[in-house]
Amino acid sequence: MPTMLEVTGLNHRYGSGDGAHVAVKDLSFSVDAGQLACIVGPSGCGKSTLLRCIAGLIPPTDGSVSLHGDAVNGVPDDLAVVFQDYSRSLFPWLTVARNVEFPLRWRKLGKQERAERAQEALDAVGLSGVGRKFPWQLSGGMQQRVSIARALASKPALLIMDEPFASVDAQTRFELEDLLRRVQREQRTTILLVTHDIDESVYLGDRVLVLSKSPATIVADLPVDLPADRDQIATRESAKFVALRGEVARLLQTVPAKQAAPEQQADEDVATADAAEWTATEEAATENAGSAKETSH
Ligand SMILES: Nc1ncnc2c1ncn2[C@@H]1O[C@H](COP(=O)(O)OP(=O)(O)OP(=O)(O)O)[C@@H](O)[C@H]1O
Ligand SMILES: [Mg+2]
């Protein structure tokens, strides 16, 4: 698969001087076209900052981002973002259909084609009959489906999602997770999704990138070798799922925070400490994966 997103040596620092805060540190990874990559990391580690840099909403302090080979220097036309707070991301004075059509105004599309695209996207998220309603007439889960439909309607090269299901109840969350995987596979959308929910990252992802505490660096890039067809009960009970979620949890627990502006020596000390923890973590993960497999027979 060709590379859709390439992030190279990304750094982001808020402010300068004594009050400076390094939120993202020397982060590099790429996402293949059609892949659903999840990013999981502790609260405040820099996940949203990373997404904002990738989306071109804020410029990185250092490093580069490219989308299908083009450097990102501002929000690309073919990129869509879904945020956690659906209640603030939809326009209450526009109908659901008009909300979904809204970003298409800047595309060279006729009125008819815009309406058709919006309807298609609403169909895809199971909201065929609600185009004429207003967002505030829908439940929270339905409103978040509208946000997803709006993102899909523009057929983005990359869909970025920042904790998209964090504001809905557990049952709705499961439904939205399954909806996202189904739509992603049908439309072959490339998705980069941030969550702080370990189970969600493993359930949804083709791959999980685990971030350190602040400033965010990548501590693991784990392929999720679960079957493509996933089921909220059977998949979550499977030995592979349990082993993977354990591995992610252990990584999140044991990797120490990096220092924001370390001296050279301090950097080396942290790196050494990391390496020691890594070895211990990997050994434990291997053991756990083995025992999980054993107990499954
Ligand atoms: N505009 C800003 N100015 C200064 N510091 C900021 C700004 N936005 C975020 N930060 C700081 O950068 C760090 C990373 O913030 P960010 O929102 O990226 O974390 P996050 O991982 O998304 O957190 P959460 O899990 O709570 O959503 C935090 O310490 C935060 O206080
Ligand atoms: Mg955030």
Collapse the DSSP code of 137 into the 3-class scheme (helix H, G, I; strand E, B; otherwise coil) and give the result. helix
Give pLDDT tens digits for 146-164: 999 999 998 999 999 999 9
Its pTM stands at 0.85
| Alpha carbons within 13 A on the beta-carbon side of 243 | 23
Q: Cα 169 to chain center, whole Å?
A: 19
Cβ of 57 closer than 6 Å to ligand 1, yes or no, is no
Mean pLDDT along residues 25-52 = 95
Give pLDDT tens digits for 207-236: 999 999 989 999 999 999 999 999 999 999
Q: CATH number of 3-78+156-296: 3.40.50.300, 2.120.10.30, 3.30.2350.10, 3.20.20.70?
A: 3.40.50.300
Cβ of 227 closer than 6 Å to ligand 1, yes or no, is no
DSSP string covering 186-212: HHT--EEEEES-HHHHHHH-SEEEEE-
| CA 289 to ligand 2 centroid distance, Å | 30
Collapse the DSSP code of 66 into the 3-class scheme (helix H, G, I; strand E, B; otherwise coil) and give the result. strand
Ligand 1: residue whose CA is nearest its atom 2? 14
Cβ of 44 closer than 6 Å to ligand 1, yes or no, is yes
CB-based contact 215:22 (threshold 8 Å): yes
